[in-house]
């Protein structure tokens, strides 16, 4: 399994550094989709198919005003041992979400190849310019990395990073973990996320892997059907796909970080890359929910300061007042009340108090109906 896709790669050794030349061709996979590899100038300083533990960078040639022949360095580590599945762990898809990147970087430092069977491709800061800036979107090209898949190897830097993942990493992999948090604008109930797919077998494998994470909530999030996300692209490539939303709010909480550490090892044990002893016995308190389409979101209608009426986790009903927007600079005007549009629980809440029309103030998760057609 681990050798899958290697036919598309020619590698050579140069003064102690491994330089992997990525050539045009088709990556042939076992049970995964065949992908056309698009011509690219990107290269890696690690041998993606090599044994043991290697840490380096995906190098995206980048020629801004102050650096004629420079490169954007996207950190990557490959840990490989024996035969087993290949799992990609992504953090820093958004640069202001921190639990996943911390956990992946810890694995890079602490993991001994002997502790796994298979291969881990560990990427703690994929949207690297955004991660270094502590921002959701890239300061280099202004793009939201998670709306650029399947990327473009001739596009701006953010599109080139997503293209590298789709063309050179997805064809090598069996599974993809995409570790998100709420980011600076949202605080959420820590949860494992299931990306919906029409492939019913893959959907069942995705659900099983997300349940193995063992978060207090497992939530099916369709992003309103957007196919430009990393998890949608991973499902398209046939990979078992698990996402997360840790607490967020632009900070790190001990609870969410502990949950993320534990959940990642649980999923890796579930996938057979780590020994079963690495998994923590399930707590059994997890609940499966889903975002009920556009009705999940309560959007701001006016410019002002949002006052939520409920804490996260509170059971609420469609039509119930959700909060109100105040105009403290225009005190004669009464606040504007917003209402929930679905039954469920308060799953996420906007972190900054200040809102503008269209801002997402609240997110509702609804009970999951498995019989939904
Ligand atoms: Ca995110």
pLDDT of 13 strictly over 80: no
Cα–ligand 1 centroid distance for 30 (angstroms):
30
CA nearest to 67, candidates 7, 154, 157, 6: 157
The strand pair at 336-339 and 191-194 is best described as unpaired
**pLDDT (0 to 100) of residue 32:** 55
Cα–ligand 1 centroid distance for 94 (angstroms):
5
**Integer Cα distance of 193 and 182 in angstroms:** 12
Mean pLDDT across the chain: 91
pLDDT of 371 strictly over 80: no
Q: List C-alpha distances in Å: 319 to 274, 295, 304, 306.
A: 47, 11, 22, 18
Cα–ligand 1 centroid distance for 283 (angstroms):
26
CB 123 within 8 A of CB 91: yes
Residues of CATH 2.40.50.100 domain(s) within the chain?
293-367
CB 344 within 8 A of CB 364: yes
Cα–ligand 1 centroid distance for 349 (angstroms):
14
Q: With H, G, I as helix, E, B as strand and everything else as coil, classify residue 278.
A: helix
95 Rama sector, left if φ>0, alpha if ψ -120 to 50, beta otherwise: alpha
Q: With H, G, I as helix, E, B as strand and everything else as coil, classify residue 266.
A: helix
pLDDT tens digit sequence for 302-333: 999 999 999 999 999 999 999 999 999 999 99
Cα–ligand 1 centroid distance for 246 (angstroms):
9
**Topology (CATH level 3) of domain 293-367:** OB fold (Dihydrolipoamide Acetyltransferase, E2P) (2.40.50)
Cα–ligand 1 centroid distance for 97 (angstroms):
7
CB 150 within 8 A of CB 162: yes
Proportion of the chain above pLDDT 90, given as a percent? 87
**pLDDT (0 to 100) of residue 1:** 35
Cβ burial of 76 (10 Å; 0-12, 13-18, 19+) is buried
15 Rama sector, left if φ>0, alpha if ψ -120 to 50, beta otherwise: left
pLDDT mean over 213-225: 95
pLDDT tens digit sequence for 39-74: 999 999 999 999 999 999 999 999 999 999 999 999
Residues of CATH 3.40.630.10 domain(s) within the chain?
6-290
**pLDDT (0 to 100) of residue 373:** 44
pLDDT mean over 161-172: 98
Question: Around Cβ 39, how many Cβ atoms within 10 Å?
Answer: 10
**Topology (CATH level 3) of domain 6-290:** Aminopeptidase (3.40.630)
Give the model's confidence band at 37: pLDDT under 50 very low, under 70 low, under 90 confident, else very high: confident
Give the model's confidence band at 35: pLDDT under 50 very low, under 70 low, under 90 confident, else very high: low
Q: Which of 3-12, 42-51, 113-122, 354-363 has the lowest mean pLDDT?
A: 3-12
Cα–ligand 1 centroid distance for 180 (angstroms):
5
Cα–ligand 1 centroid distance for 251 (angstroms):
13
Q: What is the DSSP letter of 189?
A: -
Cα–ligand 1 centroid distance for 302 (angstroms):
25
User: In sequence order, what DSSP letters do the residues of 304-364 get, joined into one string?
Assistant: EEEEESS-TT-EE-TTSEEEEEE-TTSTTSPPEEEE--SSEEEEEEESSSEE-TT-EEEEE
Cα–ligand 1 centroid distance for 146 (angstroms):
8
The strand pair at 175-181 and 240-246 is best described as parallel
Cα–ligand 1 centroid distance for 335 (angstroms):
30
**Integer Cα distance of 331 and 312 in angstroms:** 29
pLDDT tens digit sequence for 129-151: 999 999 999 999 999 999 999 99
Give the model's confidence band at 33: pLDDT under 50 very low, under 70 low, under 90 confident, else very high: low
Provide the whole-model pTM: 0.90
Give the environment of ion ligand 1: residues with CB less than 5 A: 94, 180
Roughly what angle, to the nearest 10 degrees, separates helices 99-110 and 254-270?
A: 60
């Amino acid at each position: 399994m681990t050798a899958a896709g290697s036919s598309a790669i020619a590698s050579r050794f140069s003064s102690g550094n491994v330089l992997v030349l990525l050539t045009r061709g088709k990556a042939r996979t076992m049970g995964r989709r065949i992908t056309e590899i698009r011509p690219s100038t990107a290269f890696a300083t690690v041998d993606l198919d090599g044994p043991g533990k290697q840490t380096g960078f995906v190098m995206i040639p980048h020629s801004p005003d102050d650096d004629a022949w420079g490169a954007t360095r996207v950190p990557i580590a490959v840990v490989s041992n024996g035969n087993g599945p290949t799992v990609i762990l992504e953090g820093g898809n958004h640069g202001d979400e921190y639990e996943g990147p911390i956990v992946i970087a810890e694995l890079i430092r602490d993991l001994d190849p002997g502790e796994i069977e298979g291969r881990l491709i560990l990427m703690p800061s994929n949207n690297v310019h955004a991660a270094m800036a502590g921002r959701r979107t890239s300061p280099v090209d202004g793009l939201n990395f998670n709306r650029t898949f399947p990327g473009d190897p001739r596009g701006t830097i953010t599109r080139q990073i997503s293209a590298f993942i789709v063309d050179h990493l997805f064809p090598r992999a069996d599974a993809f973990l995409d570790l998100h948090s709420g980011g600076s604008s949202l605080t959420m109930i820590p949860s494992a996320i299931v990306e919906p797919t029409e492939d019913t077998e893959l959907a069942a494998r995705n659900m099983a892997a997300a349940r193995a994470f063992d978060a207090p909530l497992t939530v099916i999030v369709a992003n309103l059907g957007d196919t430009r996300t990393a998890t949608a692209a991973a499902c398209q490539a046939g990979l078992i796909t698990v996402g997360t939303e840790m607490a967020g709010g632009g900070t790190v909480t001990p609870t969410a970080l502990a949950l993320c550490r534990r959940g990642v090892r649980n999923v890796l044990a579930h996938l057979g890359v780590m020994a079963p002893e690495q998994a923590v016995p399930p707590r059994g308190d997890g609940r499966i929910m889903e975002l009920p389409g556009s009705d999940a979101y309560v959007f701001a209608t006016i410019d002002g300061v949002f006052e939520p009426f409920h804490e996260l986790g509170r059971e609420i009903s469609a039509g119930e007042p959700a909060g109100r927007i105040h105009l403290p600079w225009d005190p004669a005007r009464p606040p504007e009340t917003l209402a929930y549009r679905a039954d469920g629980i308060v799953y996420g809440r906007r972190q900054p108090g200040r809102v503008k029309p269209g801002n997402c103030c609240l997110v509702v998760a609804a009970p999951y109906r498995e019989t939904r057609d």
